[in-house]
Amino acid sequence: MSRLVAVSNRVAVPRSGKSPGGLAVGLLAAFQHQGGLWFGWSGKTVDDTPGVARVSTTGNVRVATIDLNKDDFAGYYAGFSNNSLWPLLHFMPGYFSYSRSDHDAYWRVNRLFAERLVPLLEADDLIWVHDYQLFPLGQALRDVGVDRPLGFFLHVPFPGFNVLKVLPRYEELLRAISAYDVVGVQTEPDAKALRECYEQPEIGGEVFDDGRVRAFGRTFRVAAFPIGIDVEQCRTLSVENLNRPQVQRFEVSLRNRKLIIGVDRLDYSKGLELRFRAYECLLENYPHLRGHVAFMQIAPPTRSEVAAYMTIRNELEQTAGNINGRFAEVDWVPIRYLNRAYDRSLLMALFRLAGVGLVTPIRDGMNLVAKEYVASQDPRDPGVLVLSKLAGAAIELSVGAVLVNPYDREGVAEGLERAISMPLAERRERHRAMIQVLERNDIHAWCRRFLDALGRVSGVGAKPSAMHSR
């Protein structure tokens, strides 16, 4: 069996008290079956040229990390990855900015990743690169002689060509993506958008009926591999943690009110201010619910070095304060806004207590919180998922979620009221339909489907001169 080598911006082996993100959960599931090597940034920056990778072992996973030069990191991460790529990939060019120095740093870091990874590779490795920070890594690996099957998975959306071409030198990015053998995205609309980019006259590529693309002298596959969750783990955690003192105190504090819960990173793509205003609209239009519902939004900060994120935090705090000041009573606060992270086991228990899961990003590749909320419910008395039509998860969960447009605050308020008042029989039927989808497309199925596709790549052999044994 080929060894799996996964590469991501950060290596996020979970530690006590930390909640792993979707990428980490997915890779840990892949490693659970076959072990392998996980390579990425250590989280540390240095003033000079970074040294070789440091290697350690956690269970059946070898973890290799490198430091990054602090100036290169600033341009690569806060600059190009998060000020240029992130807003475009989320269809939000109003947040876009670009500089050539950031672009150059982005490519330098990807070349450094390739140079430090090559000495750790073995002749039969399957290499699986993850997310937008590492688009060029495949090309960088090809440039230093790696001729093994290379896979890439994008965890965020991919925009149409008219959005992508806002990026200077977008052709360079498309060329870099073509260096992979299998390019995975979250949904079929994402796959279609990427394929259509290669069909543009200035690119001159060709798309075949089976999803393969021919461009820049290479043929590669572009396909949707929607990421899932570990359904049974979510279910187990939600039950096992109900007796935690923190959870029990919280349940008592609700005083039998219907809990609406949202859990999101503090990011403009999550539409949190729109969500708060939709909840305000619910209280305006359905006054009988005042004092009988409670909305808890957990929004841990992220990318604090990016100025736009500080602005979002200030706006949300002001909005939550305005709504609470307008509607609060001495024994009821409408919004509990928590700007910190909580461990995953606690979140699963909170999901189980919540009668409504409110997931309304204005653009999201998938959104695993929506899936985790559904999996954590008591099937005898399940809550209702209110889900943005603009999240990738809406494609799979349309069978049972109440779908809303996050820009329509009255529509979201109506969706919330519908969820709050939904009869038990309908809630059970909707939950049953969604669980069937989640179990069929769980995290293990996602790993298996992608790695099977990568393993079927033929005609690619390792060049002994470019590969080194461990």
The set of catalytic residues is 155, 364
**Taking the CB of residue 470, how many other CB atoms lie within 10 A of it?**
10
The reply to whether 231-440 shares the fold of 4-228+444-462 is: yes
**pLDDT tens digits, 26-83:** 777 778 777 899 999 999 999 999 999 999 998 889 999 999 999 999 999 999 999 9
Q: Do β-strands 384-388 and 402-404 pair in parallel, antiparallel, or remain unpaired?
A: parallel
Q: Smallest Cα–Cα separation from 430: which of 402, 411, 409? A: 402
Distances (CA, A) of 342 to 29, 192, 345, 353: 21, 36, 8, 16
Nearest 5°: phi and psi at 39? Answer: -120, 140
CATH of the domain spanning 4-228+444-462: 3.40.50.2000
The 293-298 sheet, strands edge to edge: 335-338, 293-298, 258-263, 356-359, 384-388, 402-404
**Beta bridge partners of residue 46, listed in sequence order:** 69
Report the distance separating Cα 26 and Cα 153, nearest Å: 11
* CATH 3.40.50.2000, domain 231-440, yes or no: yes
**pLDDT tens digits, 231-285:** 999 999 999 999 999 999 999 999 999 999 999 999 999 999 999 999 999 999 9
Q: Smallest Cα–Cα separation from 275: which of 404, 376, 394? A: 404
Tell me, what's the pLDDT at 469? 33
Tell me, what's the pLDDT at 304? 65
* Percent of the chain scoring above 90 in pLDDT: 86
Report the distance separating Cα 270 and Cα 172, nearest Å: 29
Tell me, what's the pLDDT at 17? 43
Residues 6+ apart with CB under 8 A from 239: 352
Q: Higher model confidence: residue 11 or residue 29?
A: 11
Residue 194 scores a pLDDT above 60: yes
Residue 309 scores a pLDDT above 80: no
Mean pLDDT of 329-336: 96
* SS3 at position 456: coil
Mean pLDDT of 120-135: 96
Q: Lowest-confidence range among 105-114, 304-313, 407-416?
A: 304-313
Residue 16 scores a pLDDT above 50: no
**pLDDT tens digits, 197-235:** 999 999 999 999 999 999 999 999 999 999 999 999 999
Residue 196 scores a pLDDT above 90: yes
What are the residue boundaries of the structural domains of the chain, listed by start?
4-228+444-462, 231-440
Residue 108 scores a pLDDT above 80: yes
**Taking the CB of residue 90, how many other CB atoms lie within 10 A of it?**
23
pLDDT band of 460, cuts 50, 70, 90: very low
Report the distance separating Cα 38 and Cα 58, nearest Å: 10
**Taking the CB of residue 245, how many other CB atoms lie within 10 A of it?**
7
**pLDDT tens digits, 131-188:** 999 999 999 999 999 999 999 999 999 999 999 999 999 999 999 999 999 999 999 9
pLDDT band of 344, cuts 50, 70, 90: very high
Tell me, what's the pLDDT at 26? 73
Mean pLDDT across the chain, nearest whole number?
93
Q: Smallest Cα–Cα separation from 183: which of 213, 228, 161? A: 213
Report the distance separating Cα 202 and Cα 197, nearest Å: 10
**Taking the CB of residue 238, how many other CB atoms lie within 10 A of it?**
23
Counting Cβ atoms within 10 Å, is residue 331 exposed (0-12), middle (13-18) or buried (19+)? exposed
Report the distance separating Cα 238 and Cα 349, nearest Å: 4
Residues 6+ apart with CB under 8 A from 434: 374, 385, 397, 399, 400, 401
Counting Cβ atoms within 10 Å, is residue 162 exposed (0-12), middle (13-18) or buried (19+)? exposed
Note if the pTM is more than 0.85. yes
Mean pLDDT of 423-437: 98
Report the distance separating Cα 115 and Cα 468, nearest Å: 12
